[in-house]
Structure 1
Amino acid sequence: MPAGHRNRVGIILGLVGAWALSAAPHADALSSVTLFGIVDGSLLYTSKTLNATTGQNAGHQYSFTDSGLSGSRFGMRGVEDLGGGMRTIFMLESGISVANGSLGNSNGNLFGRQAWVGIDSRYGNVKAGLQFSPFFLAIYDADPREMGYFGSGLIPYLNNVYVTGLFNPNGISYTSPEIGGLQASGMFAFGGSAGNFQAGRQYSGSVRYHFGGLTLDGGLYSGNAGGSAASIAIPSVVAFWGRTLGARYSFDNLTLKASYTQYKVAGSFNNRVYSGGASYGITPALNIDAGIWVTRDANDGSNNSILASSGLTYSLSKATVTYAQVGFVTNHGRMHTGLSVNNALNLPTGTTAGVNVGIRHTF
């Protein structure tokens, strides 16, 4: 190879190498994208099922159930350092069903759990897009079984308002930093209908106080029917007014939780849900929890239910957990509280018992 040609090649390779050495660390330091997910499958038995047509008992069931402990999902989260303590953040999260590979555990869209972009700084964070409401997150924080998919506060939530307040489209939210143990969050979701600002309009807020092992949560929600969210695969525009107060106290391996939540649905129930329970870490790998949820309709006291459940989880590794859960629910009047988000969300009048065993892997 001629000397001149070798020199030109050497210069080019040197420049490329210098660029690679300088640019690669720079890119890694400034931004990152992480793929994450949960795969959860289980077996479910309930002593009764609901006939949707007659409202009566359709007999017991044995079934494979998607997401016995946590909703199966996959997604991407990302961050870019903007300097000065500011970061761009984003989240795209899709619910899936491990039973058949379809979309599930969301509002029915591809990224129907979360799809938002925002800015995070020492002054708090702002997010724009599909997101959880502060009301739902306040209930989650005080739920004895962390809104699991079997026997938890997620059952009465979905029974009352389905996914409204859970997956909020067209939302803009702000969450403050924690100052002296106090943190506040607010969200406003536009209805998306031209010429009708109130259709589908939703707003929510929460306040959290944290001191040592004690956490107190309060939240509110108000949503209107209609709007663009009424046309998605699973509409999230039930018109309702919600309030919640909750407390959590942790010491050593024991956590105690209690809460009160009201779901006042337009033209329907005015349900008050009282819950309490505990979680205890027997060993680093073995945990047991239990909870009870009492629901009463303030408009008609004959409509009421009691849901109680307990669960045992064992960690095979940092990413894989096996679990067993048992529960029962007693329904009176027009109440149809269920035991499982999937396959037993609504159950008939009387007492129904259920058992759920499965495995969950996170990545």
Structure 2
Amino acid sequence: MQATKKNHAAAVIGMIGACTLGVASGAHAQSSVTLYGIVDASIMYTSKTQNPLTGGNAGHQFSLTDSGLTGSRFGLKGSEDLGGGLRAEFNLESGISVANGGLNNSNGNLFGREAWVGLSGGFGSVKAGLQYSPFFLSLYDSDPRGMSYFGSGLVNYVDNVLVTGLFNSNAISYTSPEFAGLQGSAMLALGGAAGDFQAGRQYSAGLRYRAGSLTLDAALYSGNAGGSAATTPIPSTVAFTGRTIGASYRFDRLTLKAAFVLYKVAGSFDNRVYSGGLSYAVTPGLVVDAGVYVTRDGNNSNNHSVMASSGLQYFLSKRTTVYGQVGVVNNHGAMDTGLSINNALYAATGSGTTVGANVGIRHMF
């Protein structure tokens, strides 16, 4: 929709996303280092695609797609018991492409997903380095499709602000312990520009409340353009204001979720995304989910879209999953909501209805 998005569409497609988090845990020992990762590939069809030069319809697409469900990646995480309940921790995580073996699903750098070191204990946890913002983590918890790379709230996120707020460079964060169901978090990303504290400065905060089967999430984000992070291959300093509030409730094997998200770029767009959906564990090895995402531009009511999608996951083992997903999106005005982070992030502008589907396999190690 906006100029920033269009200028970087070719760079973003096939380079970002986010997100099953915490794919492996360290061994129970005083000191440990764990290698972990995800390898995910799918075959995808969409009835329309966007021509990156004109914004118009480039026709249907049938392709091998990296990361159809969750982002392919590998990483190292470790911890050391320092005594008295204090632990030192680190995480280095790189996005990779199953399609061509290159970097993908990140900010374009080698460890472009996470690269931080920190301390945790009874006081909570402190991290320093490249990391997720409380704003994005709140959206992740409230998304009915678990931020799938196809047909989920992640597509709306990246379509609007690229990876800003998703992979935050130069960041320092604090997460509190949980008190009476409440847990707070805050993050400040320093711009790193000499003589200009505001350039590239980003901050985010979140608050979560848990009471039995009910979870409530609220978070905010604000960021400025520029700063040292502006040199990352995938733009991560889009100046935007973000707000979200979401809720989830679990009934045994059924989980219901709903959320509201605001993405606002001054002088450009003011997109409000309303989402809702569910996931249901038919059996321990079979999970189905569905979600609906309605986007409206508060600055121009002619710009709006509706995306609906559903997925099925069958677990061949604890580590290997086969899946299928279907989706449909309808765009009006200048809206160009797509269906997939990789290969179909944007639809043809105001092109009406686009349908798509993918089938794939994911292995976690």
Shift of 1:306: 0.4
1:265 corresponds in structure 2 to 265
Structure 2 unmatched runs, 5+: 1-26
The reply on whether 1:350 has 2:352 as its aligned counterpart is yes
Q: TM-score, normalised by structure 1?
A: 0.92
Cα distance in 1 between the residues matched to 2:64 and 2:95: 18
Q: Which amino acid aligns with 2:332?
A: H
2:5 corresponds in structure 1 to none
Shift of 1:55: 1.4
- Contact 1:93 1:113 (C-alpha < 8 Å) held by counterparts: yes
Q: For 1:168, what is the secondary structure of its paired residue? A: coil
Q: For 1:132, what is the secondary structure of its paired residue? A: coil
Cα distance in 2 between the residues matched to 1:79 and 1:214: 31
Structure with greater helix share of residues: 1
Greater relative contact order (Cα 8 A, min sep 6): structure 1 or 2? 2
Q: Which amino acid aligns with 2:227?
A: G
1:12 corresponds in structure 2 to none
Cα distance in 1 between the residues matched to 2:29 and 2:39: 30
Cα distance in 1 between the residues matched to 2:174 and 2:72: 27
Superposed, 1:184-333 pairs within 5 Å as: 184-333=184-333
Cα distance in 1 between the residues matched to 2:180 and 2:49: 49
Q: For 2:29, what is the secondary structure of its paired residue? A: helix
Q: For 2:53, what is the secondary structure of its paired residue? A: coil
Shift of 1:265: 1.1
The reply on whether 1:359 has 2:361 as its aligned counterpart is yes
Q: Which amino acid aligns with 2:316?
A: L
Superposed, 1:46-125 pairs within 5 Å as: 46-125=46-125
Cα distance in 1 between the residues matched to 2:52 and 2:233: 20
2:169 corresponds in structure 1 to 169
Shift of 1:251: 1.5
Cα distance in 2 between the residues matched to 1:267 and 1:38: 39
Q: For 2:283, what is the secondary structure of its paired residue? A: coil
Shift of 1:29: 3.5
RMSD: 0.9
Q: Which amino acid aligns with 1:262?
A: L
Cα distance in 1 between the residues matched to 2:53 and 2:165: 28
- Contact 1:221 1:242 (C-alpha < 8 Å) held by counterparts: yes
**How many residues matched?**
337
Shift of 1:56: 1.1
- Contact 1:68 1:150 (C-alpha < 8 Å) held by counterparts: yes
Residue deviations 1:261-311, cap 9 Å, x none?
000013211000000000000000001000000000000000000010000
Q: TM-score, normalised by structure 2?
A: 0.91
1:37 corresponds in structure 2 to 37
**Taking every aligned residue pair, what percent have the same amino acid on both sides?**
69
Shift of 1:182: 0.2
Residue deviations 1:83-139, cap 9 Å, x none?
000000100000000000000000000000000000000110000000000000000
Residue deviations 1:207-235, cap 9 Å, x none?
00001000000000000000001111112
- Contact 1:160 1:265 (C-alpha < 8 Å) held by counterparts: no
Cα distance in 1 between the residues matched to 2:134 and 2:258: 18
Cα distance in 1 between the residues matched to 2:217 and 2:145: 16
Cα distance in 2 between the residues matched to 1:28 and 1:281: 30
1:134 corresponds in structure 2 to 134
- Contact 1:97 1:104 (C-alpha < 8 Å) held by counterparts: yes
Q: Which amino acid aligns with 1:237?
A: T
Cα distance in 1 between the residues matched to 2:233 and 2:161: 16
- Contact 1:256 1:278 (C-alpha < 8 Å) held by counterparts: yes
Cα distance in 2 between the residues matched to 1:132 and 1:324: 27
Shift of 1:28: 7.9
Q: For 1:318, what is the secondary structure of its paired residue? A: coil
Structure 1 unmatched runs, 5+: 1-26
